[in-house]
Chains A and B, each alone.
Chain A
Amino acid sequence: MPQRTLFEKIWDSHVVCSGPQDSRILYIDLHLVHEVTSPQAFEGLRVAGRNVRRPELTVATLDHNIPTTGNRFVIEDALARTQVETLRHNCREFGVRLFDLDSPEQGIVHVIGPELALTQPGLTIVCGDSHTSTHGAFGALAFGIGTSEVEHVLATQCLVQKKPKTMLVHFAGALGNGVTSKDMILGLIAQIGTDGATGHVVEYAGEAVRALSMEARMTICNMSIEAGARAGMIAPDETTFTYLRGRRFAPQGAAWDQAEEYWRGLSTDSGAKFDATVEISAAQLAPFVTWGTNPGMSAPVTAAVPDPAQAADESERNGMIRALEYMGLRPRTRIEDIAVDRVFIGSCTNARLEDIRAAARVIRGYKISDRVQGMVVPGSQNVKREAEREGLDKVFVAAGFEWRESGCSMCLGMNADKLGPGQRCASTSNRNFEGRQGAGGRTHLVSPAMAAAAAVAGHFVDIRGWEYRD
Chain B
Amino acid sequence: MRYLPNTAQNQRAMLETIGVGDIEDLLVKIPAKARLARPLALPPALAESDLVRHMRGLAARNADADGFACFLGAGAYDHYVPSPINHMILRGEFFTAYTPYQPEASQGTLRTIYEYQTMIAELTGMDVANASIYDGGSSLAEACLMAASITGRTEVALAAGVNPLSRRVVETYVDGPGLKLRDVPSPEGVIDIDAARRVVGGKTAALVVQSPNFYGCLEDVAALAELAHAAGALVVVVADPVNLGVLEAPGRQGADIVVGEGQGLGVPLSFGGPYLGVFAAKNEFVRRMPGRLVGATVDLDGSRGFALTLQTREQHIRRAKATSNICTNVALCALMATIYLSTLGKQGLARVGELSTAKAHYAAERLGAIPGVGLRFAQPFFKEFTLKLPKSPERVAARLAKQHILAGLPLKTFDRKLADCLLVAVTERRTKEEIDQFADALAKAVA
A binds B: no
Chain A residues at the B interface, C-beta cutoff of 8 Å = none
